[in-house]
Structure 1
Amino acid sequence: MSVQAWLPAGGQDGLVRLAEVAAPDPGPDQALVAVEAFSVNRGETLLLERPRPGHRPGKDVAGTVVRAAADGSGPAPGTRVVGHPPYGGWSTLVPVATGDLAVLPPSLPATVAAALPLAGLTALRLVRRAGSLAGRRLLVTGASGGVGHYVVELAAAAGAEVTAISASAERGERLLVLGAAEVRADLPAQGRPFDVVMESVGGEHLRAALALLREEGLLLWFGQAGRRPATLDFFEFWNGPVQATITHFDYTRGDRSYGEDLATLVHLVATGRLHPELGVVRPWTETPEVIAMLRGRQIRGNAVLTLPPARLDHERTTDHVA
């Protein structure tokens, strides 16, 4: 039995190719999910340039459980879920650890749920890492991407005064609706300092953003979207904000699985308190085109690909998932 999946092109034209691969063999704590929609993140597309041997892209999926975990944990067959597997999500079927799944309410479409995992988890954990934000000034660089939209809305709801940096005025308009107090094209040259900076561009942005911190402020560095290494002159840092802290943030660190936080994100969306920004929703056959758009920064928010229902019906009725 085989399934279809997008794989690294391996030197062929483009970055991905659609191929037949062996059907997944779930581990005892993994449910088998028929994928209805998946999200493509820009960082994932960069990994396709020099993929590791055997790499299978895809970390954000939503769909239906077609085989429950053998150890009895997790949802039953027929349950709609959102999940965050470590790889392999750009496929018709994917095994996901039950601890990394959250059940979806009937009101939440798979297209919306698929935009939650990587970007939503990163934003949720960033806001937690920043501590109490009530009444504090927050600067977010690269704010018009998938993570930035979530950060702005979550932080504003927590009481922060958010300044969002977006290179495109059009892409930044939505951030004002989500609660940003100000949207700028560039970092401010002066003004009141910020309590917290969340930096994701890299290059000169980190150095310039650090200078905008107040004394004992916190800079959370969580990305390098500009693809230029961040550099910092130690003596310049020494003469900057007193006792400032720079922390490299990685949402994957720690012993916690993703299911609990995914359930939190699902609840926030279902109750109207979090609004995923779906910049593009396309059939999964257009995955190469969407990847090109993401790399060209032509998409505001999240990019979601959908699988045809007929294919899902076929996968659900095959012998190996019965």
Structure 2
Amino acid sequence: MRRLIPTGDTARPVAFAETPQPVPGPDEALIKVEAFAPNRGETFLLEQPRPGLLPGKDIAGLVVQAAADGSGPTAGTRVVGHPAHGGWAEYASVPTHSLASLPDGIDRVTAAALPLAGITALRLLRTAGSLAGRRVLLTGASGGVGHYTTELAVAAGAELTAVTATPARGERLARLGAQVVHEVAAAHGPFDVVLESTGGPHLPLALSKVRPGGTLLWFGQASRTPVTLDFFDLLGGPERARIQHFHYAGAPYGPDLATLVRLVDRGRLHPEIGRTADWTHTARTLVDLRERRIRGKAVLTTGEPR
């Protein structure tokens, strides 16, 4: 079968290779991949790929072989999945605890755009706690996580301010109900919760916007620049502010995938997909995603769905 493997070339990060079809473990289903969605963090891993790296964590497709242990969906079921690796291929083995069935109303492109960004948004907001009536600041809001987080937080009753690099990147967030600014400094605090994903000089500035006793959830470093905090600067900032590290990972993913599917099916969550292309265009798409030339999610398709 064909799969995409890393090249180590930043201008052409992946290329096609012929590899054996994966052999599922007892608790894994074999999925015919019909669409997949790369994430910006994956583009960084491809710059200096470790030996044996098989990228791909967000997929949608068809179960062609059910798990031998009887768990999970049966053969012929349309699914969305979040494997640990190997999703940029014609077939992928996925643990059944990381799959969710798809209703007829959700197409493969929409489904593939859900997993990592959607699960991150769900778990991030659960960590933040009840948002009704609370003031929330979200930095780095232009990507997939930012769009899901904005729609879910506003629906939960948050008064949300989203920071985007440009007005164009903030248009949809404003329609979703966020107040949009383009510099952290322009956000009018104080905020009960800050959701920070850019790092570099932005985190200390965002931290200064936290109300006394408030929380900053640090869930990314999209700027790829380390953070420097000065203790004495904090003395003039918020009292008793808490910085909490957040990372989305941790199986099982199936229940959260099912929640995302249900929200989309009921019209309560609307993925923004900035590009859809055949997977022969994956290398160019990865470069554009890395360089922030795609707003929202990018989805690659592997042929006509069954």
TM-score normalized by the length of structure 2: 0.97
1:106-117 equivalences in 2 (<5 Å):
106-117=104-115
Decide whether aligned partners of structure 1 residues 84 and 190 sit closer, same or farther in structure 2, where only a CA change above 3 A counts.
closer
295, 300, 305: which is aligned to 1:305? 300
1:21 counterpart residue number? 19
Q: Secondary structure at the match of 1:133?
A: coil
Q: Tell me how far 1:52 sits from its aligned partner.
A: 1.3
289, 293, 300: which is aligned to 2:288? 293
1:257 counterpart residue number? 252
Q: Secondary structure at the match of 2:43?
A: helix
Q: Tell me how far 1:190 sits from its aligned partner.
A: 6.8
Decide whether aligned partners of structure 1 residues 307 and 82 sit closer, same or farther in structure 2, where only a CA change above 3 A counts.
same
1:131 counterpart residue number? 129
Q: Does 2:153 align with 1:155? A: yes
1:183 counterpart residue number? 180
270, 273, 279: which is aligned to 1:275? 270
Q: Which amino acid aligns with 2:210?
A: L
Q: How far does the alpha carbon of each residue in 1:195-218 deviate from its partner, in whole angstroms, 9 at most, with x for none?
A: 000111110000000000001111
Q: Which amino acid aligns with 2:76?
A: G
| 2: CA distance, partners of 1:191 / 1:279 | 29
Query: After the TM superposition, which parts of structure 1 deviate over 6 Å for at least 4 consecutive aligned residues?
Result: none
- Cα RMSD for the two superposed structures: 1.3
1:219 counterpart residue number? 216
Q: How far does the alpha carbon of each residue in 1:89-122 deviate from its partner, in whole angstroms, 9 at most, with x for none?
A: 0011000000000000001001000000000000
Decide whether aligned partners of structure 1 residues 47 and 12 sit closer, same or farther in structure 2, where only a CA change above 3 A counts.
closer
1:229 counterpart residue number? 226
Show structure 1 runs of 5+ residues with no match. 314-322
Q: Tell me how far 1:179 sits from its aligned partner.
A: 2.0
| 2: CA distance, partners of 1:218 / 1:240 | 13
2:6 counterpart residue number? 8
| 2: CA distance, partners of 1:65 / 1:106 | 15
195, 210, 213: which is aligned to 2:207? 210
Q: Which amino acid aligns with 2:302?
A: L
1:35 counterpart residue number? 33
| 2: CA distance, partners of 1:279 / 1:42 | 13
Q: How far does the alpha carbon of each residue in 1:25-82 deviate from its partner, in whole angstroms, 9 at most, with x for none?
A: 1110000000010001111011001111100000000000000001110000000000
1:65-80 equivalences in 2 (<5 Å):
65-80=63-78
Q: How far does the alpha carbon of each residue in 1:279-311 deviate from its partner, in whole angstroms, 9 at most, with x for none?
A: 1001110001111111121111000000112xx
Show structure 2 runs of 5+ residues with no match. none
| 1: CA distance, partners of 2:182 / 2:10 | 37
Decide whether aligned partners of structure 1 residues 190 and 49 sit closer, same or farther in structure 2, where only a CA change above 3 A counts.
closer
How many residues are aligned here? 306
TM-score normalized by the length of structure 1: 0.92
| 2: CA distance, partners of 1:190 / 1:94 | 43
Query: Which range moved further: 227-236 or 299-308?
Result: 227-236
Q: Which amino acid aligns with 1:221?
A: W
Q: How far does the alpha carbon of each residue in 1:139-194 deviate from its partner, in whole angstroms, 9 at most, with x for none?
A: 001101110000000000000001000011111100011221x1011013573300
The share of aligned pairs that are identical, in percent, is 59
Q: Secondary structure at the match of 1:9?
A: strand
Q: Tell me how far 1:236 sits from its aligned partner.
A: 2.0
1:199 counterpart residue number? 196
